[in-house]
Amino acid sequence: MTKILLVEDDERIVDFLRRGLKAEGFIVDVAVNGEDALQLCHDHDYPLVILDVMLPTVSGIEVCKTLRRENKQSLVLMLTAKDSVQDKIEGLHGGADDYLTKPFAFDELLARIAALLRRRPYSDPGGVMSVGDLVLDAATRSARRGTRQIELTAKEFAVLQFMMENAGRVLSRSRILSNVWEHNSETYTNVVDVYVRYLRRKVDHDGETPLIRTVRGAGYMISH
C-alpha cells in the first residue's frame, strides 16, 4: 500500500482528506506543522507528500526546499489557497512536483496523485508478482496462469498489473481509471468494466478458481 504524508493544519481539511484517501486504499500519516513534517520525512520514505503552503513553524515552501537540499526523493504536491502566478512559481521553484489550488474537487486530487505516482511505480517495475497461480512478470511483460500463458494487450496488462500490485484490496473504478489512463483522457469509468471483462475471459478460464471479483457498489478486487 502506498503511504502518503499529508501536511495540513486545518482540521476539517485533514479529516476530509484522510478519510477519502484511506477509502481509496492509501496509508495516510498527518503532520500539522512544518517541523513535524520534516521529522516524519527524516524517519520515513514517503512516495508522496501533500503539502500545504501556509503552515505553522516552517512554511510548506521551506519544507519542500529542505527536502530537496537533503535529496529526499518524495514527490511533492503543494496545496494552497493562493492562486497568483507568482505563488505557483515560488512553489514550483521550491521543488514541488505539482500544485493544486484550494478549493479543489477530491476527484481532481486523486487524478493529480495518480499522475505523480506514475513517476514512481507502486512496485519494482522489474519485479514478479503472483496471486494464487497467476504470475505476472513486469520485466518481460508476460503473464501466465499455472502453465498456461496469457496473451494480453498493453492496456490489459496495465490494468492487471495495477490490480495485482493492490491484491486483496477493493479498487474503485475511478481509482483504476486514474492510475491506468492519463488523468486528462476523455474516458469514463465504464471503460474499466470493459477491460475487467476482457481480463476475466483470459485469466479465469472454465474450471479455474476465479481470481477477479466484483464487489457490488465498490469496484473490483483480485485475490486468491
The CATH number that applies at residue 185 is 1.10.10.10
Mean of the per-residue pLDDT values of the chain: 86
- Domain final residue pick, 66, 93, 117: 117
Q: Band the pLDDT of 105: cuts 50, 70, 90.
A: very high
pTM of the model: 0.56
Are 148 and 216 in the same domain?
yes
Write the DSSP assignment of 88-105 as a string of letters.
HHHHHHTT-SEEEESS--
The residue with greater pLDDT, 181 or 201, is 201
pLDDT score at 188: 63
- For residue 166, being part of any structural domain is answered with yes
- For residue 123, being part of any structural domain is answered with no
Q: What are the residues whose beta carbons fall under 8 Å from the beta carbon of 215, sequence distance 6 or more? A: 170, 221
CB atoms within 10 A of CB 138: 19
Q: What are the residues whose beta carbons fall under 8 Å from the beta carbon of 101, sequence distance 6 or more? A: 79, 80, 81, 82, 83
The CATH number that applies at residue 99 is 3.40.50.2300
Tell me what percent of the residues of the chain surpass a pLDDT of 70: 89
- Residues 156-183 have a mean pLDDT of 84
Q: Band the pLDDT of 120: cuts 50, 70, 90.
A: low
- Residues 144-148 have a mean pLDDT of 93
- Residues 196-208 have a mean pLDDT of 91
Are 145 and 99 in the same domain?
no
Judged by DSSP in three states, 172 sits in coil
Distance of alpha carbon 215 from alpha carbon 195, whole angstroms: 16
Kindly tell me the number of DSSP H helices and DSSP E strands found in the chain: 8, 11
Q: Band the pLDDT of 41: cuts 50, 70, 90.
A: very high
Could you tell me how far CA 164 lies from the centroid of its own chain? 14
- Domain final residue pick, 117, 143, 174: 117
Are 28 and 112 in the same domain?
yes
Are 80 and 180 in the same domain?
no
Are 95 and 136 in the same domain?
no
Q: What are the residues whose beta carbons fall under 8 Å from the beta carbon of 81, sequence distance 6 or more? A: 54, 101, 102
The residue with greater pLDDT, 166 or 84, is 166
Q: Band the pLDDT of 166: cuts 50, 70, 90.
A: confident
- Domain final residue pick, 86, 117, 148: 117
Are 113 and 182 in the same domain?
no
Predicted confidence (pLDDT) at residue 106 exceeds the cutoff of 90? yes
pLDDT score at 124: 46
Tell me what percent of the residues of the chain surpass a pLDDT of 90: 49
Are 14 and 103 in the same domain?
yes
C-alpha dist (Å) from residue 4 to 17, 32, 64, 160: 11, 14, 15, 23
94 bridge partner residues? none
Question: Of the segments 8-17, 130-139, 179-188, which one has the largest average pLDDT value?
Answer: 8-17
Write the pLDDT tens digit of every residue in 47-83: 899 999 989 989 999 999 999 888 787 889 999 877 6
Range of the domain at 17: 3-117
Our count of domains for the chain comes to: 2
- For residue 189, being part of any structural domain is answered with yes
Distance of alpha carbon 33 from alpha carbon 181, whole angstroms: 34
- For residue 122, being part of any structural domain is answered with no
Question: Closest Cα partner for 202 from 218, 222, 188?
Answer: 222
Residue 171 C-beta-side C-alpha neighbours within 13 Å: 29
Which of 7-16, 106-115, 141-150, 179-188 is predicted with the least confidence, judged by mean pLDDT? 179-188
Q: What are the residues whose beta carbons fall under 8 Å from the beta carbon of 175, sequence distance 6 or more? A: 24, 25, 110, 114, 219
Q: Band the pLDDT of 150: cuts 50, 70, 90.
A: very high
Are 94 and 148 in the same domain?
no
Are 78 and 132 in the same domain?
no
Distance of alpha carbon 31 from alpha carbon 49, whole angstroms: 10
3-state secondary structure 141-159: CEEEECCEEECCCHHHHHH
